[in-house]
Amino acid sequence: MALPPLAPETRNLIDGVLCDASNGNTFDNLNPTTGELLGQAADGTKDDMLRAVEVARRAFDETDWSLDHDFRSKCLQQLYEGILEQKEQLRSIVVHEAGAPVSLTGYMHVDDPVEHMKYWADLAASYEYETRMSNIPFLGRENGRLLRREAAGVVGAITPWNVPLYLNIAKIGPSLAAGCTTVLKPAPDTPWCATHLGKIIAEKTDIPAGVVNIVASSDHLTGEILSSDPRIDVVTFTGSTATGRRIMECAAPTVKNVFLELGGKSANIVLDDVDLAATLPMAAMTCVHGGQGCAITTRLLVPRSRYDEAKEILKASFEGWSYGDPQDPANLQGPQVSTRQQERVLDYIEKGKEEGATCLVGGGIADGDLGEKGCFVKPTLFVDVDPEMTIAQEEIFGPVLCVIPYEDDDDAVRIANNSVYGLSGSIQTNDVQRGLDVARRIRTGTISVAGAQWFNVDTPFGGYKQSGVGRENGVMGFEEFLETKIIAIPADAEVK
List of residues contacting ligand NAD (CB under 6 A): 158-162, 185-188, 220-221, 223-224, 227, 238-240, 243, 246-247, 261-264, 294, 395, 397, 423, 463, 468
Please identify, using beta-carbon distances, which residue of 66 and 297 lies nearer to ligand NAD.
297
CB of 406 to ligand NAD, least distance (A): 24
Please identify, using beta-carbon distances, which residue of 258 and 349 lies nearer to ligand NAD.
258
> In sequence order, which residues have a C-beta less than 8 Å from that of residue 278 and are 6 or more positions away?
none
CB of 189 to ligand NAD, least distance (A): 7
**Residue whose C-alpha is closest to residue 48's, from 25, 14, 10:** 14
CB of 481 to ligand NAD, least distance (A): 16
| Contact yes or no for 240/186 (Cβ under 8 A) | no
> In sequence order, which residues have a C-beta less than 8 Å from that of residue 214 and are 6 or more positions away?
12, 13, 14, 183, 184, 185, 186, 194, 195, 197, 198, 201
CA-to-CA distance for 195 and 80, rounded, in angstroms? Answer: 16
- Look at the alpha carbons of 395, 396, 400, 406 in this order and tell me if their dihedral is positive or negative: negative
Q: What angle do CA 456, 459, 461 make, to 5 degrees?
A: 105
CA-to-CA distance for 116 and 118, rounded, in angstroms? Answer: 5
| CA atoms lying within 13 Å on the CB side of residue 4 | 11
CB of 378 to ligand NAD, least distance (A): 21
Annotated catalytic residue within 54, 224, 261, 395: 261
Cα–Cα separations (whole angstroms), residue 40 to 3, 160, 166: 20, 18, 22
Please identify, using beta-carbon distances, which residue of 21 and 310 lies nearer to ligand NAD.
21
CA-to-CA distance for 415 and 420, rounded, in angstroms? Answer: 12
CA-to-CA distance for 152 and 154, rounded, in angstroms? Answer: 7
CB of 221 to ligand NAD, least distance (A): 6
To the query of whether residue 395 is one of the catalytic residues in this protein, the response is no
Annotated catalytic residue within 193, 287, 294, 402: 294
Please identify, using beta-carbon distances, which residue of 72 and 265 lies nearer to ligand NAD.
265
CA-to-CA distance for 157 and 159, rounded, in angstroms? Answer: 7
CB of 178 to ligand NAD, least distance (A): 19
Q: What angle do CA 359, 364, 369 make, to 5 degrees?
A: 150
CA-to-CA distance for 267 and 426, rounded, in angstroms? Answer: 7
To the query of whether residue 294 is one of the catalytic residues in this protein, the response is yes
Q: What angle do CA 495, 68, 144 make, to 5 degrees?
A: 20
Please identify, using beta-carbon distances, which residue of 210 and 462 lies nearer to ligand NAD.
462
Please identify, using beta-carbon distances, which residue of 60 and 237 lies nearer to ligand NAD.
237
CB of 188 to ligand NAD, least distance (A): 6
Please identify, using beta-carbon distances, which residue of 188 and 335 lies nearer to ligand NAD.
188
CB of 244 to ligand NAD, least distance (A): 7
DSSP string, 209-246: TTSEEE---S-GGGGHHHHH-TT--EEEEES-HHHHHH
Please identify, using beta-carbon distances, which residue of 205 and 424 lies nearer to ligand NAD.
424
Residue 426's DSSP bridge partners are 268, 448
At position 84, the amino acid (one-letter code) is L
Catalytic residues: 261, 294
